[in-house]
């Protein structure tokens, strides 16, 4: 007792010389780094995101009593009797180390381990151990025992990048820390001193030996009976799997979500903030979209067309939620997300924006005529003379027919009539944010856009001008359930409804009798083909009232596809294949006619 008192008094005196140690009061507001989880719209886990610490924070009441007793038994059985340090253990360790001339025995309490992990370096030096003791005493002057124990159990490292009892429990046994059996709890407690060495994933027999040691100590302390010890030692253990740094179940989706949230919250908050993110995609629906892309890529190769990539983006016009996003044929071979990052020319798939501008001006209707004849416009020091795909001119032609068969000259003339700046303005209203130059050829798609931008723009046409923010995220909460971001759709009317409904009717003609007949469905559908003049990019973008989808085909190095490759011949069938699968079980819906709305 005298020795213990001397040691304890000496440590208190040393506290005066440690005035530069960290202020433990900062732990009143301490929030440990937590793992962020991404789920599909139905709550299926897609991905977990963290930095060096994979951790889920839980309360002390959410941890199995067996685990709490097991940890105390093997690490600090006098935890609830001391005030941060255990003088008897300190004295015993001091004498042993003095006798050996080096550190051979520790005397760390749970509190000392906690402050070491939070504030100090792992160096095994006398000065660090003294600092540990001082901080431990300071900590227990401020916090109750249960608070210290809860912090410890959430902070401690359990191996394989698992921090805290909850994450370790889910990794080792695929269950919550609240559901651990005595056998599992004893095995986990036995790992703390050297988790990578004692891990049952590394050496199961050694983990069982450590388990037996913990159970024996619990029985010696009278915390379990001999029968309970024997039953726990003989209980079969079913192991889980390491949960850290697992691959995403839908990487194109999760990477796009991470990018969207990093822009909003910052990457550090995303990695450490313990967010719970509900995405807008259904995992099974997304898997179907990825399979459609892979299957059609193989089909195109069998037909002699060898594009590097296919990308697909699907948006719900009623909510503007992204329903599927496929950034390429094989994520394992290329992580570049062409659906959200690849800026490619949409060609004639851009024309509907120009036709909408004409309809919304009040000067044109679907059956108004325009002269498809040669025309030239100043373009710098030369003249720009648009040509149609087949090299002919049709003379007077209705807007409906000009769009259905994708005549170029009428689109350029309409662009000049309504003004290129007006076309750009409408593009921005539709949510297109990529750079757009006010060139005369803009109506023919001489601008670089992403498939997601195209699918979202067409979704606004499909909803007769109603639009919410296009997003991959339904909701974000913190680990306590507090809402950080709520993307409940808040639709606003951004287009003229009559002009949008009229455009829908015209784009139905593209599929019914124009360049997109290969996209015909068993229900009303609207859409537009797109083929660049060099055949480097071919598209089909189309929709029904419930779903808007853009499909793009091309080569990453911008090599042209072979002659005759068009959106109508090669991409429309892919779009149709996807839509037939996506709309299974969905009721047939009709577009609202323009007569339901007042003409501007």
Marked catalytic residue, from 89, 162, 169, 348: 348
* Per-residue model confidence (pLDDT) at position 1: 45
- Nearest alpha carbon to residue 375 among 420, 415, 413, 405: 413
Measured CA to CA, the distance from residue 136 to residue 497 in angstroms comes to 69
Q: Please state the CATH superfamily assignment of the domain spanning residues 1-30+63-156 in this structure.
A: Biosynthetic peptidoglycan transglycosylase-like (1.10.3810.10)
Contacts of 227 (CB under 8 A, 6+ apart): none
CB-CB contact of 583 with 523 (8 Å): yes
DSSP codes, 206-263: HHHHHHHHHHHHHHHTTSS-HHHHHHHHHS--------TTPPPSSHHHHHHHHHHHHH
Neighbours of 219 (CB within 10 A): 18
Marked catalytic residue, from 34, 48, 64, 75: 75
**DSSP H or E stretch at residue 541:** strand 537-544
CATH number for the region 286-596 comes to 3.40.710.10
- Three-state DSSP at 37 gives strand
CA distances from 240 to 168, 169, 172, 174, 215 (A): 10, 9, 5, 5, 22
* Per-residue model confidence (pLDDT) at position 93: 53
* Per-residue model confidence (pLDDT) at position 107: 60
Residue 446 is among the residues annotated as catalytic for this protein: no
CA distances from 433 to 426, 430, 443 (A): 11, 9, 17
Residue 348 is among the residues annotated as catalytic for this protein: yes
The verdict on domain 157-246 having CATH code 1.10.3810.10 is yes
Contacts of 379 (CB under 8 A, 6+ apart): 439, 440
Low-confidence ranges of the chain (pLDDT < 70): 1-22, 26, 29, 88-107, 120-129, 563
* Per-residue model confidence (pLDDT) at position 288: 98
Q: Where in the chain is the domain with CATH 1.10.3810.10?
A: 1-30+63-156, 157-246
- Three-state DSSP at 588 gives coil
Neighbours of 531 (CB within 10 A): 29
Measured CA to CA, the distance from residue 287 to residue 542 in angstroms comes to 20
- Nearest alpha carbon to residue 310 among 33, 538, 45: 538
Q: Where in the chain is the domain with CATH 3.40.710.10?
A: 286-596
Measured CA to CA, the distance from residue 458 to residue 449 in angstroms comes to 13
CB-CB contact of 54 with 163 (8 Å): yes
Helical packing angle, 87-100 and 2-14, nearest 10°: 90
Measured CA to CA, the distance from residue 69 to residue 140 in angstroms comes to 20
Do strands 54-55 and 162-163 pair parallel, antiparallel, or not at all (unpaired)?
parallel
């Amino acid at each position: 007792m005298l020795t213990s008192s001397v040691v304890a008094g000496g440590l208190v005196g040393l506290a005066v010389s440690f005035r530069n140690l960290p202020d433990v009061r900062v732990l009143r507001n301490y929030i440990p780094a937590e793992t962020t989880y991404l789920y599909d719209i139905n709550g299926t886990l897609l991905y977990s995101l963290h930095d060096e610490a994979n951790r889920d924070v839980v309360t002390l009441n959410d941890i199995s009593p067996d685990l709490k007793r097991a940890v105390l038994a093997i690490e600090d059985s006098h935890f609830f009797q001391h005030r941060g340090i255990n003088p008897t253990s300190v004295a015993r360790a001091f004498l042993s180390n003095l006798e050996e001339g080096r550190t051979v025995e520790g005397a760390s309490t749970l509190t000392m381990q906690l402050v070491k992990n939070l504030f100090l370096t792992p160096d095994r030096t006398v000065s660090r151990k003294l600092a540990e003791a001082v901080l431990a005493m300071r900590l227990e002057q401020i916090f109750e025992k249960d608070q210290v124990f809860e912090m410890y159990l959430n902070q401690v490292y359990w191996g394989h990048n698992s921090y805290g009892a909850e994450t370790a429990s889910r990794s080792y046994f695929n269950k919550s820390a609240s559901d651990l059996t005595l056998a599992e709890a004893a095995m986990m407690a036995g790992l703390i001193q050297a988790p990578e060495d004692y891990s049952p994933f590394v050496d199961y027999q050694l983990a069982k030996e450590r388990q037996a040691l913990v159970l024996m100590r619990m029985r010696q302390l009278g915390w379990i009976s001999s029968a309970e010890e024997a039953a726990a030692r003989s209980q079969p253990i079913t192991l889980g799997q390491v949960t850290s740094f697992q691959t995403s179940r839908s990487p194109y989706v999760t990477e796009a979500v991470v990018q969207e949230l990093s822009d909003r919250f910052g990457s550090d908050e995303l990695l450490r903030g313990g967010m719970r993110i509900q995405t807008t995609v259904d995992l099974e629906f997304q898997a179907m979209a990825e399979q459609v892309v892979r299957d059609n890529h193989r089909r195109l190769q069998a037909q002699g067309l060898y594009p590097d990539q296919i990308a697909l983006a699907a948006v719900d016009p009623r909510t503007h939620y992204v329903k599927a996003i496929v950034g390429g044929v094989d994520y394992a071979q290329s992580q570049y997300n062409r659906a959200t990052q690849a800026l490619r020319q949409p060609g004639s798939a851009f024309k509907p924006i120009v036709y909408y501008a004409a309809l919304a001006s009040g000067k044109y209707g679907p059956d108004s005529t325009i002269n498809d004849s040669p025309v030239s416009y100043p373009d710098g020091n030369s003249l720009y003379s648009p040509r149609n795909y087949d090299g002919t001119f049709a003379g007077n032609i209705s807007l409906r027919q000009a769009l259905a068969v994708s005549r170029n000259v009428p689109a350029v003339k309409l662009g000049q009539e309504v003004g290129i700046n007006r076309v750009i303005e409408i593009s921005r209203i539709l949510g297109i944010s990529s750079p757009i130059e006010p060139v005369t050829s803009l109506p023919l798609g001489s601008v670089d856009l992403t498939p997601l931008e195209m699918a979202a723009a067409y979704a606004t046409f499909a909803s007769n001008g109603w639009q919410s923010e296009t997003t991959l995220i339904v909701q974000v909460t913190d680990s306590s359930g507090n809402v950080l971001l709520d993307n409940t759709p808040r639709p606003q009317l951004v287009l003229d409804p009559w002009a949008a409904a009229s455009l829908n009717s015209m784009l139905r003609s593209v599929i019914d009798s124009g360049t997109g007949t290969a996209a015909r469905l068993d229900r009303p559908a609207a859409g537009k083909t797109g083929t660049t003049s060099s055949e480097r990019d071919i598209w089909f973008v189309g929709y029904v009232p419930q779903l808007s989808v853009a499909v793009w085909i091309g080569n990453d190095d911008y090599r042209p596809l072979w002659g005759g490759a068009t959106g109508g011949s090669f991409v429309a069938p892919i779009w149709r294949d996807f839509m037939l699968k996506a709309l299974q079980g969905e009721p047939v819906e009709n577009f609202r006619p323009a007569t339901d709305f007042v003409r501007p």
